[in-house]
């Protein structure tokens, strides 16, 4: 029962995938048959494909793709991305060609591990800040905040809360997540479809960029190859750090279904640590395939800050490479917590 309780911190709104059928979508003379059960299959299984040949045509050849990648009719899923994927079969027969599609949903094969934390230190945090993005860069804490007419970008001394630099966004913009890379700050806005790029030292606005297929701007993080962007769905988009073009995406899934509302993110030891909207917990995500491999229950932290009418949920996670510790706060919290993560 304890495990179930902790999982609800992140997964209360997990969407269970149980739709579709084994026979796929029928089109013309053929349909694709898979071994997915109710459309679902685990990443540790082999996807097996065959055709229903309803009119007994003499088939010359068949080719299959999964999410656009050429595969055999028996395909090991262990290195494939999770989530809903399109299966396409191209059938050659009697001098003709037909293309048939269906979909399968690839789930993780293990339930997430449960983690807790130890508080190492507590530091002051601006109680008026509606925190949306938090990240260390050169031992300085950068923060992006939200709400119309309140959104700002700032850098602070995390130990004292002293503000080194601050700029306010135009009233029309609702600030969201940020990340800092190569002396540039990348900041999202929520529903305007626009992000901004600043000089990390002066906060001079260098340029802006538009979103493409991602629905909204929520959270940002990065590694040495890509910028990762969440949009409030189960998708995390990989952006080219030079052009900011959305090149691909992963889908965040457990062994049960998809996790929507992925919000503020941080890259820590090769994994994505992500707040989930309106949840006082963090999901640990494998960036290669989108699997949720761990959950951290931070719900007790909210009771340790000043209780007031504007108090909101946990949102803000930053890794300090100098101290090798994690820092978390929330929307309109008056404390910043330095913590270490431990497995339960």
**pLDDT tens digits for range 46-58:** 999 999 998 999 9
Q: What is the reported pLDDT for 215?
A: 84
Residue 229 pairs in a beta bridge with 220, 237
Structural contact between residues 269 and 221, judged by C-beta atoms closer than 8 angstroms: no
Residue recorded with tokens 């990762």: 228
Residue 146 has pLDDT above 80, yes or no: yes
Share of the chain above pLDDT 90, in %: 87
Predicted confidence (pLDDT) at residue 6 exceeds the cutoff of 70: no
Task: Tell me the pLDDT tens digit for each residue of 31-47.
Answer: 999 999 999 999 999 99
- Whether residue 318 is predicted with pLDDT greater than 50 in this model: the reply is yes
Distances (CA, A) of 35 to 72, 88, 160: 14, 15, 58
DSSP 253: B
pLDDT range class, residue 72, cuts 50, 70, 90: very high
Asked if pLDDT for residue 5 goes beyond 80, the answer is no
Residue 139: phi and psi, rounded to 5, are 65, 10
Per-residue confidence (pLDDT) for residue 101, from 0 to 100: 94
β-pair partners for 42:
107
**Residue 153 burial by Cβ neighbours in a 10 Å radius (0-12, 13-18, 19+):** buried
Average pLDDT for the chain:
92
Looking at the DSSP bridge assignments, the partners of residue 320 are 325
Give the integer Cα–Cα distance in Å for 117 and 114: 11
- What the block records as the tokens of 148 is 């119309």
Please report, rounded to a whole number, the percentage of residues in the chain having pLDDT higher than 70.
92
Task: Name the band, by pLDDT with cuts 50, 70 and 90, for residue 279.
Answer: confident
Picking from 204, 201, 321, the residue whose alpha carbon sits closest to that of residue 268 is 321
Q: What is the pLDDT of residues 96-128, one digit of tens each?
A: 999 999 999 999 999 999 999 999 999 999 999
Per-residue model confidence (pLDDT) at position 213: 94
User: What pLDDT does 297 receive?
Assistant: 93
* Angstrom distance (rounded) from CA 230 to CA 235: 6
| pLDDT above 50 (res 23) | no
The CB-based long-range contact list for 29-35 (8 Å cut-off, 24+ gap) reads 29/53, 29/54, 29/55, 29/57, 29/98, 30/54, 30/89, 30/91, 30/98, 30/100, 31/100, 31/102, 32/87, 32/89, 32/100, 32/101, 32/102, 34/87, 34/102, 34/104
Catalogue all structural domains in the chain, each as residue range(s) with its CATH number: 15-107 (2.60.40.10), 113-343 (2.130.10.10)
Confidence of residue 29 (pLDDT cuts 50, 70, 90): confident
Cα separation, 101 vs 305, in Å, equals: 53
Q: Please tell me what DSSP assigns to residue 111.
A: P
Q: Up-side HSE of residue 8: CA atoms within 13 Å toward CB?
A: 4
The pLDDT-based confidence of 65 (bands split at 50, 70, 90) is very high
- pLDDT band at 21, cuts 50/70/90? very low
Nearest to 194 by CA among 208, 215, 175, 179: 208
The pLDDT of 269-291, averaged and rounded, is: 95
pLDDT digit string, tens, across residues 156-167: 999 999 999 999
- The 3-state DSSP class for residue 73 equals coil
Place of tokens 């330095």: 338
> What confidence score (pLDDT) does residue 11 get?
59
CA distances from 52 to 31, 57, 90 (A): 5, 10, 13
Order of strands, sheet of 205-210, starting from the edge strand that comes earlier in the sequence: 175-181, 184-189, 194-199, 205-210
Give the pLDDT of residue 206: 97
Please choose, from the candidates 113, 114, 107, the residue with its C-alpha nearest in 3D space to the C-alpha of residue 259.
Answer: 107
What digits encode the pLDDT tens for the residues 219-254? 999 999 999 999 999 999 999 999 999 999 999 999
Taking residue 320's Cβ as centre, other Cβ atoms within 10 Å add up to 15
Contacts of 101 by beta carbon, 8 Å cutoff, 6+ apart: 24, 25, 27, 32, 86, 87, 88, 89
């Amino acid at each position: 029962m304890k495990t179930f309780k902790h999982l609800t911190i992140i997964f209360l709104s997990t969407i269970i995938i149980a739709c579709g059928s084994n026979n796929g979508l029928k089109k013309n003379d053929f349909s694709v048959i898979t071994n997915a059960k109710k459309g679902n299959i685990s990443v540790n299984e082999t996807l097996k494909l065959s055709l229903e040949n309803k009119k007994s045509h003499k088939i010359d050849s068949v080719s299959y793709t999964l999410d656009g990648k050429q595969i055999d009719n028996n395909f090991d899923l262990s290195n494939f991305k999770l989530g809903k994927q399109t299966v396409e079969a191209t059938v050659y027969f009697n001098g003709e060609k037909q293309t048939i599609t269906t979909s399968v949903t690839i789930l993780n094969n293990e339930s997430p591990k449960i983690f807790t934390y130890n508080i190492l230190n507590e530091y002051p945090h601006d109680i008026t800040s509606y925190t949306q993005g938090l990240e260390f860069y050169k031992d300085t804490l950068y923060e992006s905040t939200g709400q119309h007419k309140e959104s700002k970008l700032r850098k602070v001394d995390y130990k004292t809360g002293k503000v080194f630099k601050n700029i306010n966004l135009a009233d029309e913009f609702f600030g969201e997540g940020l990340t800092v890379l190569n002396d540039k700050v990348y900041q999202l806005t929520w529903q305007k479809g626009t992000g901004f790029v600043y000089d990390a030292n002066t906060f001079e606005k260098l340029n802006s960029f538009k979103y493409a297929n991602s629905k909204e701007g929520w959270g940002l993080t990065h590694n040495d190859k890509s910028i990762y962007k969440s949009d409030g769905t189960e998708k995390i988009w990989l952006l080219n750090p030079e052009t900011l073009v959305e090149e691909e995406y992963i889908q965040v899934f457990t062994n049960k279904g998809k996790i929507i509302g992925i919000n503020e993110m941080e890259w820590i030891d090769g994994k994505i640590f992500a707040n989930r909207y309106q949840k006082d917990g963090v999901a640990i995500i494998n960036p290669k395939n989108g699997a949720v491999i761990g959950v951290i229950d931070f719900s007790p932290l909210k009771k340790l800050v000043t209780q007031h009418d504007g108090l909101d949920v946990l949102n803000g996670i930053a890794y300090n490479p100098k101290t090798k510790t994690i820092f978390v706060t929330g929307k309109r919290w008056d404390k910043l917590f330095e913590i270490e993560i431990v497995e339960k």
